[in-house]
Copies of this chain bind each other. A is one copy, B any other.
Amino acid sequence: MREVAVIGVGMNRWGELWEKSHRQIWTEAALEAVDDAGVDHVDAMYVGCMSSGLFVGQEHLGALLADQLGMGPIPGTRVESACASGGLAFRQAYLAVASGAHDVVLASGVEKMTDVDGAAATYALSTAADQEYECYQGVTFPGLYAMMARAHMHVHGTTRRQLSEVAVKNHRHGSKNPLAQFPQPVTAEQVEGSVLVADPLRILDCSPITDGAAAAVIVPMELARGMKKHPVVRVAASAHATDTLALAEREDVTFLASTERAARQAYRQAGIGPGELSFCEVHDCFTIAEIMVLEAIGLSARGAGGQAAASGFSAFGGKCPVNVSGGLKSKGHPVGATGVAQVREAVLQLRGQAGDRQVEGARYGLTQNMGGTGASSVVHVFERVEP
């Protein structure tokens, strides 16, 4: 397999973009990535999108968006893996370059979630869970993550305050991200006083409904080395693993086994351990999720994610800042775009272009994107390459 590098990234301002169509949102991010890369063509494109059929009545995004890009009749492929669609689209783009099939590939993600009302959005998102065995009982995602949170509190002693600290940290981080949907800082008291959604999760424990897109341009390493526009960022590892779709079938609902598997493979491929990471971007769709991810990627001992999250370890300035971009919580969560936006943040950090939120001397960054209650996990490791 060929070595692969990221040479361009793009993302638009996320939020409730009622004045923009699905394709327009995507095109803004895609053209920014192409411009950032400084290339005049791409050979193929991949797009991650969870449920454009239910959200905007449009499937067949590969051909639609390839046409929209205006760079000829290139192969355009849509990948879907619920909220991990973006990360998995990036992985398929990586495989296309690594295999030698294509040289300049656009990896992208998009979701337009606000063209339907709240109940329809909740239904569309519920299709990431097991429709026949979970949704049929009436449960939706806040309920599923609430059960994981309750179990984690019961088994490991995780506290309400530790959940709140994740939200407080990520909104503080997001306040430095000009593209974030909710850059407002929040206090633990505000989180704990916010509307209850599914006990113990309150509205400020949940990531929002968002319209947005993100994109990246990747090429073989030898091509990247000849380009002088930006420092070179290498894809040091790409891994993907699954778990049962239904939460009830898991051995341990307090642990993200698919993330652990994917992370273990990624560390092996990259030749590093969690101790060498400069920062991570992880899938904090709910505050409890970030706590569980810290355990699964080896940044804390099993069961100790709550303590780690509240310790300052994962805050900007700490040993390994987590979700410096604001994460899903503050930046927003257009489900198909999230995994690619994580890649964008990693690339900006490793290039030293992250502005006010720059992690000094960043060398390795990890991104973790997951679908459902962790039935799919996609983990990538990126490395700054010295000139």
Q: Which residues of A contact B (CB under 8 A)?
A: 1, 21, 23, 44, 50-54, 56-64, 66-67, 73-82, 88, 92, 95-96, 98-101, 123-124, 127-132, 135, 240-245, 249, 257-258, 261, 371-372, 375-376
Contacts and interface: CB of A to CB of B under 8 A. Distances in A.
A53 B242 contact: no
A51 to B, nearest CB: 5
Contacts of A76: 81, 242, 376
A67 B243 contact: yes
A211 to B, nearest CB: 16
Contact of A79 (B52, B78, B249): B78
A382 B294 CA distance: 46
Q: How many copies does the complex hold?
A: 2
Nearest to A129: B60
A365 B356 CA distance: 58
Contact residues of A: prevailing secondary structure: mixed
B261 A64 contact: no
A64 to B, nearest CB: 5
Contact of A59 (B50, B74, B241): B50
Contacts of A241: 73-75
Contacts of A81: 60, 62-63, 76-78
Nearest to A52: B127
Given A74-B242, A95-B101, A241-B75, A375 B131 contact: no
B59 A127 contact: yes
A376 B63 contact: yes
